[in-house]
Structure formats: structure tokens, C-alpha cells
Amino acid sequence: MAILFGTYSVLNLCFLFLISIFLFRLFFRGSRQQKNLPPGPPPLPILGNLLQLGFSKDKFEGKLNRLHEKYGPILTLWLGSSRLLVMVADRQVAYEALIQKGSVFADRAPVRETLKLFSNNQHSIKTAAYGKLWRILRRNLMNSVLSPSAMKAFGEGRECGIGGLLANLRDEAARNAGAVRVVEKLRTAVFSILFYMCFGTNPDEATASNVLSVIRDVILSGMGLDEIIAIPGFLLRRRRARMAEICRREREALLPFIHNRRDASPQAGGAYVDSLLALTVEDGRSLDDDDLVTLCSEFMVAGMDTTSTVLQWAMANLVIRQDVQARLYDEIIGVTGGGRPVGEEDVPRMPFLEAVVKETLRRHPPGHFLLPHTATRPSDLAGFNVPVDASVYFYIADMGMDPGVWQKPAEFRPERFVDDGVEVDLTGTKDIKMIPFGVGRRMCPGIGLALFHIQFIVARLVQEFAWECKPGETVDLSETTEFTMVMKYPLHAIIKERREPMMGRT
């Protein structure tokens, strides 16, 4: 009897579960039609579409591509039972949202508790709501360190960072018969440059190691499952404790430099932190220590891994395409005459260098999705309704591979921008072909700085060294996801000193 009762209970539970799924899907379908949401796979109770997407970062895009093939370039997904995502993989729909309706789709969704720690409750440029605070912070960043005149003032920091990069590559090559691993050296060099821009000083080795370690932990802390679905707080204690410890170390690492600049204010004035110390926000309030740590960290986080990631992809493709590397070297020698290092003033005179960097960004954008946008008011997109609580994601990697725009999109061909006459506006003002920095009102404010740094460093690396594959090996361009889309197998190459004499060589 007990066995029969147990079996009966299990059957009842299974039946009720199936009925609940049926009713939920029936209700959801009617609700979707009533609200005119974009199409998408029907969700399950509680889980939404999580089972269709899976939990693997590296498999997510493949599953998303199949959903776009079935439902079209704009689709709806549910993460859990309450979080609505609108996924856009079409450049024309992206243009409608980000340019034509830019003010409508310029907001950010509230973040959950754990990520509030790193954004100081969304008091940062990338997370702030579209409004007064965001405008003040972004305008200050643009005017203080990202204007053309301000960028020139940091030449000493750039030379120090690039000089250290070249010296470290030479040292490793001397120890390993020319073989070098570049990713950590690139990251350290970019960090050194950004640290100088932020605090007005070059970090010593111990400082660089400590602060870089903290910034990397902030970057790799990533988005947890609690940012996707509601999870009871008692299940998040360990994650929250780890995040709080990273925040404590971040504050401990950066505050001494902030306080030093505050104390040195009579002679300061050129670094990013100096502008923050003088800034007032809502109601005339000055920034407190938590604000200053958040914004200084954001400045370095935003530029460090993205720039170093693109640099590694560029050098990997130049190792594979020796003809492209040779053509770039010829352009460098043609501009410099071969007797001096590439100068900052030379970069705008090198169209093929610009083409190499553009093609790297098209083929390997550091992020495959823009940070999610939300609508400031209920709106429509591509004929569908988009509620204010929906997070709108733009699949920019897919746009850069559109065969309707790009011939042989899977190939790395910088020649397309100079020989084939392909024109592209990275700001997306006229149309969208590739948007590695986003477009519109929430476009990355550091686009000019990033492009300049990438071009300048690539030019110096190619001018100083010939880059080749290790004998018997090939460069594997497989991808994996960290904070950015990185090489799954980091570049391991052979470098050889160029023969041309270089006056002032570091």
C-alpha cells in the first residue's frame, strides 16, 4: 500500500508539473502576443530560457546563433521568470536603437547587490543611469584626459610603458632562443600607461604588481548567476565575501595614490584623479573616497584588458600573415626613414597600420556584446515593443561578420580598407558595419585613446622585431571568454631584432 501511495504521489507530482508547464506556456504565449514582444523560444517556469542557453560561456554564442536563425535578428529571452532580454544581431536594428532612438535606449538597468560593490551603487560612467550624474562624469573624463591636447601630455608615460615592454621582450627572447609569450607583457605595458594617466606617476615594480593583481581580480570577478536570476541570499555568502574582499584590496591599493595627489594638489593638475578631486556632482557634492576609488579603477579596468587583448590578436594575425607584416614594416620605414623609432606624430600618416587595427577589431572585437542597454521609456524596435525593464543586448561580433557587408568575412584582410576601398565609420553616425566600441550616446568615450594606443604599440613592435611562428607550430586563433574574448592559447612566437639602426632605441 505504501509503495502504491508513493508511486501515486510521484505520478501526481509529474502530472502537476506538466500541467504547470502547459499553463505557463499558454499564458506566456498570450502575454507575448498581447505585449507584441519580439519572438523567442517559450520559457520554462522559474528557469525561463536558461536550459536552452546552457551555462557554458564558450557554447553560449553557438546556441544564440541557432536561436537567431530560427526566430530572426531580434528575439526575446527570459533569464529566470522575471528578467527579460532582447537580443539584437542585426546592424540596421542596432542603428535604429543606438542612433535614431539613441536617447531612448541610453539607460542602464539596476545591478544586483554583488555588482553594486564594484560600481559604488552605480556611481560609475559605464553603470550610471542616463541622467545628470552620467553626463557630469563622462564630460569630465573626456575633457580631462581624453581630449587630443590632454592625450599628448602623457607621452612620457607611454614611452615608459612601451620601453618596458620592448625590454621585457628582449630579455625573454635572449633566454629562450627568441621565443616569447606576449599576453602578460602587453597587459603590464598597457596598465603602466593607464596608471600614469590616472595618477601622474610611473609605478615601481612592486606597486605595479600589486595594483595590477587587484585590477585583474576586479575584472575576472565577472558576473555571477545571482546577476541573472534571483538566488536566496544565504546561498551567496561565499561569493559576496569574496567580492567584498576584492573591494577592500582595491580600496587599500588605490587610496594611497589618490591621497598623494590630493596632498600634492598645488603642483598637480594633469592626471585623471586630479580632475576627480576638483569635480562636484549633484547638489554641489564633492566625490568621496569610495567614488574616487570606483572611478579610478573603472578607468584602468575599461582600458587594460580590452587594449591588451586587441594587441595580442593583432600580433597573432601578423605572425600568420607574413605578407601583411612585411607591408606594414615597409610603411613604417617609409614614414620614419628607418633611422628613428616611430613617434606619436607618425601614427596618423600610416593608413595601412590603421587598416590592420580596424581589421583586428572587426575580426576579433574584445567584447562580442555591448554592455546591456535599457529603454528610458516604453518604446518599439523593429516593429516590436520593448518594455523599460528589458535589457537590450547588441551582438556586435555577428555584425562584423555579416557577409552582406564584408567579402570573405572569416578572413583577416586589412587590404580591404586600403586596396578595396571599404570605408567604415566606427562611430556609426551614417550606418553600422562594425561597432567594437559601441555607438551613440553610450559609445565608449575612450575610442580615440584606444585606437591610438593600439596603433602606436603595434607599430613599435613591428618596427623593432620580426615576428614568426615557432618552428613546427601554428598559431591557434581559438577563442575563450574572460572579461574580454581572448586567445584560448596565448600567442607564443619567435621574435628577431630588425637590422636597421634605430637612433634612440629603447
Q: Quick one: average pLDDT of 63-76?
A: 94
Strands 74-79 and 479-481: unpaired
Q: Give the three cell numbers for residue 293.
A: 576609488
Q: Which residue has the higher pLDDT, 69 or 238?
A: 69
| 442-500 residue pLDDT tens | 999 999 999 999 999 999 999 999 999 999 899 999 998 877 889 999 999 999 999 75
- By three-state DSSP, how is residue 369 classified? strand
Q: Give pairs for 153-158: CB < 8 Å, separation 24+.
A: 153/270, 154/193, 154/196, 154/197, 154/270, 155/344, 156/196, 157/192, 157/193, 157/195, 157/196, 157/197, 157/202, 158/193, 158/196, 158/344, 158/453, 158/456
115-124 average pLDDT score = 84
- Residue 32 or 453, more confident: 453
CA separation for the pair 162, 191 (Å, rounded): 11
Mean pLDDT (the chain) is 87
Q: What one-character-per-residue DSSP string does 372-429 give?
A: PBB-SS-EEETTEEE-TTPEEEEBHHHHTT-TTTSSSTTS--THHHHTS-----TT-S
Least confident of 23-37, 85-99, 129-143, 349-363: 23-37
Is the per-residue pLDDT at 10 higher than 50? no
Containing 327, the helix (H) or strand (E) segment is helix 322-336
Task: List % helix, strand, coil for the chain (3-state, nearest 5).
Answer: 55, 10, 35
In this predicted structure, what is the pLDDT of residue 283? 80
**120 pLDDT tier (thresholds 50, 70, 90):** confident
What percent of the chain is predicted at pLDDT more than 70?
86
Least confident of 24-33, 207-216, 426-435: 24-33
Q: What is the pLDDT of residue 82?
A: 77
The domains of the chain are located at: 34-497
pLDDT band at 8 (very low <50, low <70, confident <90, very high): very low
What does 87-125 look like in DSSP terms, one character per residue?
EE--HHHHHIIIIITTTTT-B-PPP-HHHHHHHTTT-ST
- Does residue 239 register a pLDDT over 80? no
Candidate from 92-106, 208-222, 414-428 with smallest mean pLDDT = 208-222
Query: Would you identify the CATH topology of the domain 34-497?
Result: Cytochrome p450 (1.10.630)
- What pLDDT score does 5 carry? 33
Split at pLDDT 50, 70, 90, the class of 270 is confident
